[in-house]
Amino acid sequence: MKNTIMISALLFAFMISFGGSALGSDTKPLPPNVDMKTGAISVPEDYTLWPTLGTWSHAKVVGAGGAVNIHEYHVVYTQPETIAYYKKKGRFPDGAVLVKELLHAETMSMSTGPAVGHATTLKAFFVLVRDTEGRFKDSPLWGDGWGWSFFEPKDLTKTTSKDYKVDCIPCHVPAKDLAPRNAKKDDKWIYTLGYPVLQKK
């Protein structure tokens, strides 16, 4: 009798842990800027301490002579471990966070050149979170391997994005043709050509 109780208890414990781990694969936590209950994304608090993945500068023609000014910078940050992982395996890990800052910029003549741009104030933020497990199937801000959200500087915890398929995807389609041919399907949404730090040395 004692043995039967023991065995049933063990069996029960086994079922719980087995069931638990099967469930756990769905609920494996993402970084703290994701609310694991709702899938709501915020701008990570500490992202300015992360390495810069790359920078994009936006120029526009000013004046009649065709002179060009830098008027905006896009600076992309990610966790150090994401860079290390990508360099080794050639893909983004589950939980990779990419933060793109949009910054206003000014251009002036400096001792280094006639048209030198520098960033001034923050304009907006775009955040992507890599999800290799297909979490948050009901959320219109998760899909195609990523969580997608846009933020204005006045609130870094609440996105104004409604549907990534409308707000983000159309503009990221061209990235597919620019991506390395052997890149993973969902990594092809990323404009990796602008991030030489990801290349193996």
**Residue 97, class by beta-carbon neighbours within 10 Å (0-12 exposed, 13-18 middle, 19+ buried)?**
buried
Interface with ligand HEC: number of residues (CB under 6 A) = 19
CB burial of 106-120 (b: ≥16 within 10 Å; e: otherwise) equals ebeeeeeeeeebebe
- Of 108 and 166, the one with the shorter C-beta distance to ligand HEC is 166
**168 makes contact with ligand HEC (CB under 6 A):** yes
Residues 9 and 130: their CA atoms lie apart, in Å, by 39
Minimum separation from the CB atom of position 105 to ligand HEC (A): 13
Query: How many other β-carbons are positioned within 10 Å of the β-carbon of residue 54?
Result: 18
Contacts to ligand HEC from residues 98-127, by CB under 6 A: 98, 100, 126
- Of 22 and 171, the one with the shorter C-beta distance to ligand HEC is 171
Residues 163 and 61: their CA atoms lie apart, in Å, by 33
| CB within 8 Å of 112: residues ≥ 6 apart | none
- Rg from Cα positions in the chain: 22
- Of 107 and 149, the one with the shorter C-beta distance to ligand HEC is 149
Tell me the per-residue interface mask from 23 to 62 with ligand HEC, x by CB under 6 A, - otherwise.
---------------------------------x------
- Of 76 and 119, the one with the shorter C-beta distance to ligand HEC is 76
Q: What residue ranges bind ligand HEC (CB under 6 A)?
A: 56, 74, 76, 98, 100, 126, 128, 148-150, 161, 164, 167-168, 171-172, 190-191, 194
